[in-house]
Structure 1
Amino acid sequence: MASPRTGRPGRRPGPTETRERILACARRLFAEKGYDGASLRGIAREAEVDPALVHHFFGGKQGVFVAAMEFPIDPAVIVSRVAEVGSRDELGVALARTFLDVWEDPASRTPLLAVLRSAMTNERVATMMRQFVQATLLTPATETFRIPPIRIEAAIGQLIGVAMLRYVLGVEPIASATREELVELLAPTLQRHFDEV
């Protein structure tokens, strides 16, 4: 049987090979066009598959991006976890704890560090990440919690600053503080952004 991509005899690509081809094409398109500019249909066309197959493997553009960039956690999961709190008064604690849970896990910390460092040194990656974070974290958080975008961004900015000091630069004593010490320190400041609306 001829291969559909090469016309040469051989077996048909299996699910793993097809999935990897989709991811390779997605990486290329995200790099060329950014998160906003790349579409699910464009990725499918580039990979020579039906858009429904891309949707089947990844659930949508956000899922493709998370897999293609080897992002360790989908931002939608973070919003969902924080949204599980019982009241708005607990958002600061929930956000601090969820953020630190992700960073404290070595399996997610390593790829997060790679993404953070890449975004700091490569304008194309920075643009792509900015579009992705805006679409998948900041906008949904604003809509879910009904908090003005600038307040959500200020809170996230503080957490990214902590990540830089603790995990990238290793500045003491924040680098060796316990997770609970940091939650106790960060939560009231984060909560102020959410209360003063």
Structure 2
Amino acid sequence: MAETAAPIAEPELEMNHNEHLVETTEVPAEAHHAEPSALGLAPAGWVGLSMLAFLLILVWKKVPAVITGGLDKKIVEIRQHLDEAKKLRAEAEALRKEYADKIAGAEKDAAAMIEYARHEADAIVAKAEADTEAVIKRRKQMAEDKIAAAQRGAVEELRARAADAAATAARGLIAKGHDAEADKKLVDTAISGL
């Protein structure tokens, strides 16, 4: 399929303003370039033929099998990774549930401990109040006993002083009102009463 090319026009020489020769070529509107061909094939045919040869070499060297084998290996590897990820996820879920249960148990234990501590604190406060009341009663009783003992001591001391004062006063009165003769009479009366 050889095409005939339209004749190319000869260049004409013209003078422009600057007095230089300028070469102009007139190309007719219908003219186009001829495509090169080799062995009867145009460039597009050679490209197609080379692609066909390339694909045949790829098939002959079993490249598609190598590619599909590589892809199959990748698919198997990805499946293994997915299975491992599923296993890890299941383990993580189990651990999460276990820790959630432990947290719930710890919260119950903490609530029980708080309740026990509150009960113990109430018992300690009640015992302290009872002990305080007992101590107050004992100290009050001791103070009352001391006061009573002090009163008794004061009364006894007052009585002893009063007795001493009365004896002293009686001696003084007796000494004033009795003389030796009156004493003699008293001693005689006492002796005769025996």
Give the TM-score band, short-chain normalised: under 0.3
Higher relative contact order (CA 8 A, sep 6+): 1
- Larger gyration radius, structure 1 or structure 2: 2
Give the structure with the larger strand fraction: 2
